Amino acid sequence: MSVVTSLLLRGLTGSARRLPVPRAKVHSMPPEEELGIMEKAIGLTFCFVSLFLPAGWILSHLEDYKRPE
Protein backbone atom coordinates (compact mmCIF):
# COMPACT_ATOMS: atom_id res chain seq x y z
CA MET A 1 0.00 0.00 0.00
CA SER A 2 1.37 3.40 -0.89
CA VAL A 3 2.01 6.18 1.58
CA VAL A 4 -0.74 8.34 0.06
CA THR A 5 -3.30 5.55 0.39
CA SER A 6 -2.41 4.89 3.99
CA LEU A 7 -2.67 8.62 4.82
CA LEU A 8 -6.07 8.83 3.14
CA LEU A 9 -7.36 5.78 4.99
CA ARG A 10 -6.01 7.08 8.28
CA GLY A 11 -7.75 10.40 7.67
CA LEU A 12 -11.06 8.68 6.93
CA THR A 13 -11.01 6.44 9.98
CA GLY A 14 -9.57 9.03 12.35
CA SER A 15 -12.81 11.00 12.62
CA ALA A 16 -14.82 7.83 13.29
CA ARG A 17 -12.67 6.97 16.29
CA ARG A 18 -13.50 10.26 18.03
CA LEU A 19 -17.29 9.80 17.85
CA PRO A 20 -18.87 8.87 21.19
CA VAL A 21 -20.62 5.53 21.23
CA PRO A 22 -23.89 5.59 23.16
CA ARG A 23 -24.20 2.97 25.86
CA ALA A 24 -27.33 0.87 25.93
CA LYS A 25 -29.22 1.07 29.19
CA VAL A 26 -30.79 -2.36 29.30
CA HIS A 27 -32.25 -3.61 32.54
CA SER A 28 -33.77 -7.04 32.86
CA MET A 29 -36.14 -8.39 35.42
CA PRO A 30 -37.31 -11.93 36.11
CA PRO A 31 -40.34 -13.00 34.08
CA GLU A 32 -43.75 -12.34 35.53
CA GLU A 33 -45.01 -15.78 34.45
CA GLU A 34 -43.07 -18.97 33.90
CA LEU A 35 -43.47 -20.67 30.53
CA GLY A 36 -45.54 -23.82 30.62
CA ILE A 37 -44.57 -27.19 29.21
CA MET A 38 -46.71 -26.66 26.09
CA GLU A 39 -45.15 -23.28 25.30
CA LYS A 40 -41.67 -24.75 25.67
CA ALA A 41 -42.56 -27.76 23.52
CA ILE A 42 -44.07 -25.59 20.78
CA GLY A 43 -41.07 -23.25 20.81
CA LEU A 44 -38.55 -26.08 20.61
CA THR A 45 -40.56 -27.80 17.87
CA PHE A 46 -40.57 -24.68 15.73
CA CYS A 47 -36.84 -24.15 16.30
CA PHE A 48 -36.01 -27.71 15.26
CA VAL A 49 -38.35 -27.61 12.26
CA SER A 50 -36.95 -24.30 11.04
CA LEU A 51 -33.41 -25.66 11.33
CA PHE A 52 -33.76 -29.23 10.11
CA LEU A 53 -36.49 -28.94 7.47
CA PRO A 54 -34.43 -26.88 4.98
CA ALA A 55 -31.34 -29.00 5.63
CA GLY A 56 -33.33 -32.20 5.10
CA TRP A 57 -34.83 -30.82 1.89
CA ILE A 58 -31.40 -30.00 0.49
CA LEU A 59 -29.93 -33.35 1.51
CA SER A 60 -32.85 -35.32 0.08
CA HIS A 61 -32.65 -33.41 -3.23
CA LEU A 62 -28.86 -33.35 -3.44
CA GLU A 63 -28.81 -35.26 -6.72
CA ASP A 64 -31.05 -32.58 -8.29
CA TYR A 65 -28.60 -29.84 -7.34
CA LYS A 66 -25.54 -31.52 -8.84
CA ARG A 67 -24.51 -30.13 -12.19
CA PRO A 68 -23.60 -32.55 -14.96
CA GLU A 69 -20.01 -32.17 -16.01
Between 52 and 1, the more confident residue is 52
pLDDT, tens only, 11-58: 666 655 666 777 778 788 888 899 999 999 999 999 999 999 999 999
Q: How far apart are the C-alpha atoms of 31 and 40, rounded to whole Å?
A: 15
Which comes out higher in pLDDT, residue 10 or 34? 34
69 has a pLDDT exceeding 60: no
Q: For residues 65 and 58, is the Cβ–Cβ distance under 8 A?
A: yes
State the DSSP code for 19: S
pLDDT of residue 18: 65
Q: What pLDDT score was predicted for residue 54?
A: 94
Please state the pTM of the whole predicted model: 0.48
- C-alpha to C-alpha distance for 39 and 41, rounded to whole angstroms: 5
Q: Is 34 helix (H, G, I), strand (E, B) or coil?
A: coil
